[in-house]
Chains A and B, each alone.
Chain A
Amino acid sequence: MHSDLLISQTDGRPMYLQIMEQIKLKVAVGDWATGQEIPSIRQLAIALRVSVITVKRAYLELEREGVILTQQGKGSVVAPDSGLSPRLHEEELAGHLEQAARLGDLLGLTTEELASRLQEASGRRIEDGLPKEME
C-alpha cells in the first residue's frame, strides 16, 4: 500500500511527532478538508509500516489539539474549524524566537541588542520591497 505521509529514519524526532506534523500540514493547506474522513489508525499504521501504538498516540494528541475528531467505532475526521493555519505559524514563530534567544545568549548579546537586530531584519524586508501584506 502506498501512503502520502513519509516517516524519516534520520529525523531525530519521535515518529508520532512526525505523523502529527504531517497531518497538521495536510489540514492546514487543505489537502484534507474539514469533515473529511481520514485513514483509520490501523490503516495508516499498515501503510506507513509503523506500529499501531505510535499512530494511536499521534491521533490522541491531534484530537486533544482539536485537529481531528475520533468517534468510537466510526473512525476519525478532520475537525471543523481547527484554526490550524494561524496556530501553525504561531508555533513556528515561537520556535524561531527560542532559537534566536539561544544563539543571542551564545554570542553574549543583551536582550536590547537582540531586539534591535530583529528590528533591523524587519526593516530590511521592507527595503527589499516585501511588505508583509503582499506575501
Chain B
Amino acid sequence: MMDLTVEFKGVGKHYPHFNLDNIDLVLPTGSIMGFIGANGAGKSTTIRILMGLVHQDLGAVNVLGHSMPSQQAAAKLDIGFVSEDMRLYGAATLEWHMKFVSSMFPKWDQAYADKLVQRFDLKPQQKIKGLSHGQRVKAALLLALARKPRLLVLDEPTTGLDPVARREVLGELMAVLADEDRTILFSSHNTQDVEQISDQITFIDRGRIVDSDDKEAFLDQWRRLRLVLPQHAELPHLPGVIDVGGSGRLPVLTTNRFDPGMLTVCQDLGATVQAVDSMTLEEIFVTSVQHRRETLTV
C-alpha cells in the first residue's frame, strides 16, 4: 500500500457565498504536489482545512496519521506552513525569529538554518520591517524549513518573487525531497513552477477538484490534433475529444485521453493529421477548467 501523508475524503465546507464540495485528495509521502486554481477557487480554504485552521462541515481529513482538526496539535509539530499573509514581527530581527522558533520545535536544525541564511542571501541582524517582499518570503520559508517538518505546506510560495529568488526557492524545495520521508504541498497560479517541480498535480475550480493525477500522466494524455479534412467531409464525434476548435476544413481537436488509435480513425476518414502537439500545463489547466464550466452549465 502506498504511504499517504495527506488524505481528504468527501470533504465539504459551506460558506454563505462559497462552497467547498466533496474534496477527495491524496498526497503520497516523498512527493511534491502542485495545487493549481484561479483566485477564489478554494485553494486557501482547502489548505486551511488541512492545517486544522478551518473545520470542515463534512468528510474526513488525515494528515501524517492524525485526524484533523481534532488532533491538530500533534500534527502541527511536523507541518511547516508558509503563506503570503504570514505575520512576522516587524520590529524584531530574523535572528530573534530563529531563536523563537527553535525554542518551540525540538527538531530545529541551526546548521541548516545558517546555510539557508547564506543561500537566500539574508542578514540575521536586519529587522523584518526593513525587508523586501522577496526577503520576507525567504525568511518565512527559512523558519519553516529549518524545523525539518515532514510536511511542508506552502500557499503561493513563489508569487511576487524575482527570477533569482524564485530559482533559489524552487531549488531549496527540491533539496528537501532528497529525504524520501518528506512531502510538500504547494499552491500556485504559476503553472510553470508547478510543471517544473511537481510529481502530483491537482486542479481546483469553484470549490471542486477538476482533476488530480501524476504529472507525467497529465502531460501524456493531453494532445492537440491539427487536421486537414477532405472537402465536404463531416467530422464525427470522437470519444475523448473535449474541444473542437479551428474552422472549416482545418479543425483542431483537444483530447484529454490521447491514444495513437485516434490518428488511425482520423486517417480512415480521409483526414490528414498535420500535427500532434503536446500541451503545457497552463493550456491543460485552462482547457479543463473551461470544459468543466461548460459541462456544468449545459
Contacts and interface: CB of A to CB of B under 8 A. Distances in A.
Q: Do A and B bind each other?
A: yes
A14 B199 CA distance: 14
13 contacts: A13-B278, A16-B216, A42-B180, A43-B178, A45-B177, A49-B197, A51-B32, A51-B196, A51-B197, A51-B199, A52-B177, A53-B31, A57-B216
A50 B215 contact: no
Interface in B179-212: 180, 192, 196-199
Q: How large is the interface on A (under 10, 10 to 19, 20 to 34, 35 or more residues)?
A: 10 to 19
Given A16-B216, A57-B216, A49 B167 contact: yes
B105 to A, nearest CB: 24
Contacts of A15: 196
Contact of B174 (A9, A12, A49): A49
Given A12-B278, A42-B177, A52 B31 contact: yes
Contacts, number: 47
Contacts of B216: 16, 53-54, 57
B198 A51 contact: yes
B219 interface: yes
A51 to B, nearest CB: 5
A49 B168 CA distance: 10
Given A16-B216, A49-B167, 14 more contacts: A12-B278, A14-B219, A42-B178, A42-B180, A43-B178, A45-B177, A46-B174, A46-B175, A46-B177, A46-B178, A50-B197, A51-B196, A51-B197, A53-B215
